[in-house]
Chains A and B, each alone.
Chain A
Amino acid sequence: MASDENKRFVVLRVLNMPGVMERIASIFARRAINIDTITVGMVNGKTSEISLTFSLPQEKFENIVKVLEKNPCVFEVKIGSLEYDVIREAFVAVLKDCDTSVSDYIRVRYRARTTLLSGSRLLVELLADPRVVDDFKEEFKDRVESFSRSGVMIHTLNRFRK
């Protein structure tokens, strides 16, 4: 397991063009770096934003940032951190053996949206720090019947950066 200090959060502003994902992915693949999460959103017709998380020691991380920066289809590379930036993941799960008290607890404790389904099932929709998502999964590991997570979205708060 890679240690937490090696966990990286990177946002790329890229050209919105077919093949750009493959180009970015191949930079990681050729260095045998596993991408933990990847999400893409459109900024406008010409630009997209890719949020990536992966683990990498500092030295190699510095190099890959420069490699990404010099790629002609990358406009900007922003580095996010759990302390200063808004890092969120969407999480949807169906829990079994739930009643209104569990539902209320989850709503308050996790600020999640909950919907009771038939057969004491509970639909949970959560938008949270990925660590909180992990906590939730751990806390309800005996009840989670199925779940999906979106991968991490990173919004850097530039005012904290120089």
Chain B
Amino acid sequence: MVSGSRLLVEKLRENGVKTIFGVPGGAVLPFLDELYKAGDIEFILARHEQGAAHMADGYARATGRIGVVVATSGPGATNLATGIANAYLDSSPVLSIAGQVATPLIGYDGFQEANVFSMMIGLTKMNFLPRDLNELNSALENAFKIALSGRPGPVHIDVPRDVQLMEGEPDDDFYIYSYTPPSPSDEEILTVSKMLVEAERPVIIAGGGVIISGASSELIALAELLNAPVATTLMGKGSIPEDHPLSLGMVGMHGKLGAIKAVQESDLILAVGMRFSDRTTGKLSGFAPGARKIHVDIDRSEIGKLLKPDLGVAGDAKQVLIRIRETILRLFKKGKAATWGERVKQLKKESEFLYDYDAVPVDPSTAVRVLNDYVKAEDFVTTEVGQCQMYASLHFTAKRPRQFISSGGLGTMGFGLPAAIGVKAAFPESRVFDIAGDGSFFMTCNQLPVSVDYNLPIIVLVLNNYFLGMVRQWQELFYGRRYMAVDLKGRADIARVSEGFGAKGFKVTRISELKNALETALKQDETTVLDVIVAREDNVFPMVPPAAPLDRVIVRR
């Protein structure tokens, strides 16, 4: 005999879950009681469910394992929405479990009932509303598989209160989700290999799929064999160490100039595990106009969704990259190295930045550049959203996959701080930095006490321009500098707010102070917020205007 709650705990254990994030409530009390009795799963109590979901998401992105979030019914579950949608768009394996009113009350406006099932349909890879023990057993059995297989994604389960309390022996006669990753034919691999060897100016674009697939070393090996430079999407950042000679950095709306130009000049694009987002390609018809395009993705429905490739290859990034390299080595001996090494070097040089270490207020790009020196290979950097995110992506040098964790698809302000807490929970020995903006900071700074309470110290670097800076930048560049609803005034003192939450807070007005503050923070190993006052109206460049082709990149800085 087992209760629904007991079954939940057992399945979490079976799947190696040691930490869950969440906020409790009436509809999950039986489950919480079972967690109490079990005693071996840590419950990190968040201050808001959105943040709890970001924590689980950060945990999942840093580890590649499932991140678990728990909320109560109604407002608890609806508060999850942003966090779950965020995980969905970036293919992050999150399992979210919410309570629900007892089955007889579902649909009859029971206290704290919301139609969470319908809400979650569009935000998850799959969701379940089990009405008895068998269905709960089936949902749990399938949830882990679905979340982690192929292209990962969040799975949500609403567990009615009475189902948590039901006792019985669930049967195992249920639907089991089965998944076999697509695998391209030898012929397809041969065609790709030929196209790559024949290309004069190939560029590889690596997306988040390369990181999820664990294909980083295979990516580097192929790039080196072909002497082909690698650009990444935001999600692919770190798939190749960014100090590698063949790394071009990010391509896209705020990509590095060298990456943008290399893509535009290339005659062959090998796109791996990416989805041709408008933020990456600019206007699609003007994207790498002289290049043939090969698109490799594990999700068949991504191939041809936006860009019609010359060749689409459905398969797992790692397997496909290994097979391409082997085929090239077998059939073409060495694989004629691309001829444009010199040009690529020159493009990389052109995209180097000039940093200003003396500017007051601080130059935000320089602040990120300085942070770089303190981030070791085993450390992590999360980001918020806005200019701060783009400064981070341009000036932080990622050394390995999963090191850089950012909200790509949904662009969720407030993601970075709770995500950093989730990362820290997974890697207590690593240091975790959140590169933030003031606007984003205020979206989820209420989670700072979680970092303090659970001794999960993170360092938040707020690039404080007293503006919703990215929106202001668009208003400046495209709306005649008519600033509307973007001024944050700066009366709230971020350092003092942070102190009030139990963290350490420092106000920083010049680069020399930033270095001191970082060193102090790292020595003290306590949750620390550095309020770095940066140039108010600095703009992020390069920038490709929205809906324009990449060639229209503005480089002024």
Contacts and interface: CB of A to CB of B under 8 A. Distances in A.
A62 B304 contact: yes
Interface in A16-75: 18-19, 22-23, 26, 30, 46, 59, 62-63, 66-67, 69-73
Given A15-B175, A19-B129, A46-B175, A70 B122 contact: no
Contact of A66 (B117, B118, B177, B300): B300
Given A19-B117, A72-B142, A66 B126 contact: no
Nearest to B308: A59
Contacts of A23: 121
B146 interface: yes
B300 to A, nearest CB: 5
B146 A72 contact: yes
Given A19-B117, A23-B121, A70 B146 contact: no
Nearest to A67: B301
Nearest to A16: B175
Contacts of A69: 300-301
A42 to B, nearest CB: 15
A59 B303 CA distance: 11
Interface string B490-526: 0000000000000000000000000000000000000
Contacts of B301: 63, 66-67, 69-70
Interface residues on A, range: 10 to 19
B305 interface: yes
Given A19-B129, A63-B304, A67-B301, A30 B122 contact: yes
Interface residues of B, number: 20
A46 B303 CA distance: 31
B305 A63 contact: yes
Contacts of B177: 72
A73 B122 CA distance: 14
Contacts of A15: 175
Contacts of B300: 66, 69-70
A59 B304 contact: yes
B65 interface: no
A79 to B, nearest CB: 15
Contacts of B308: 59
B277 to A, nearest CB: 16
Contacts of B237: none
Interface string B114-143: 000110011001110100000000000010
A14 to B, nearest CB: 11
B496 to A, nearest CB: 44
A70 B118 CA distance: 19
A58 to B, nearest CB: 11
Nearest to A60: B305
B299 interface: yes
A89 to B, nearest CB: 29
B405 to A, nearest CB: 25
Interface in A62-97: 62-63, 66-67, 69-73
Interface string B270-309: 0000000000000000000000000000011101110010
B126 A72 contact: yes
Contacts of B122: 26, 30
A110 to B, nearest CB: 41
A62 B301 CA distance: 8
Contact of B299 (A22, A59, A70): A70
User: Which of A23, A46, A69, A71 has the most B CB atoms < 10 Å from its CB?
Assistant: A23
Interface string A94-110: 00000000000000000
B206 to A, nearest CB: 22
Contacts of A67: 301
Nearest to B173: A46
A26 B303 CA distance: 21
A72 B125 contact: yes
A96 to B, nearest CB: 43
B51 to A, nearest CB: 27
Contact of B121 (A19, A46, A62): A19
Interface string B27-51: 0000000000000000000000000
User: Which of B129, B150, B177, B300 has the most A CB atoms < 10 Å from its CB?
Assistant: B300
Contacts of A22: 118, 121
Contacts of A70: 150, 299-301
Interface in B530-551: none
B129 A18 contact: yes
Interface in B87-112: none
B324 to A, nearest CB: 23
Contacts of A59: 304, 308
Interface string B169-185: 00000010100000000
Contacts of A73: 126
A46 to B, nearest CB: 6
A10 to B, nearest CB: 15
Contacts of B121: 19, 22-23, 26
A41 to B, nearest CB: 18
Nearest to A15: B175
A66 B121 CA distance: 18
A69 B303 CA distance: 14
A121 to B, nearest CB: 41
Interface string B13-27: 000000000000000
A31 B303 CA distance: 17
User: Which of A23, A63, A72 has the most B CB atoms < 10 Å from its CB?
Assistant: A72
List 4 tightest A-B contacts by C-beta distance, closest first. Answer: A66-B301, A72-B126, A67-B301, A66-B300
Interface of B: 117-118, 121-122, 125-127, 129, 142, 146, 150, 175, 177, 299-301, 303-305, 308
23 contacts: A19-B118, A19-B121, A23-B121, A26-B121, A26-B122, A30-B122, A59-B308, A62-B304, A63-B301, A63-B304, A63-B305, A66-B301, A66-B303, A67-B301, A69-B300, A69-B301, A70-B300, A70-B301, A71-B126, A72-B125, A72-B126, A72-B142, A72-B177
Given A19-B118, A63-B301, A66-B303, 9 more contacts: A19-B117, A22-B118, A26-B122, A59-B308, A62-B304, A63-B305, A70-B150, A72-B146, A72-B177
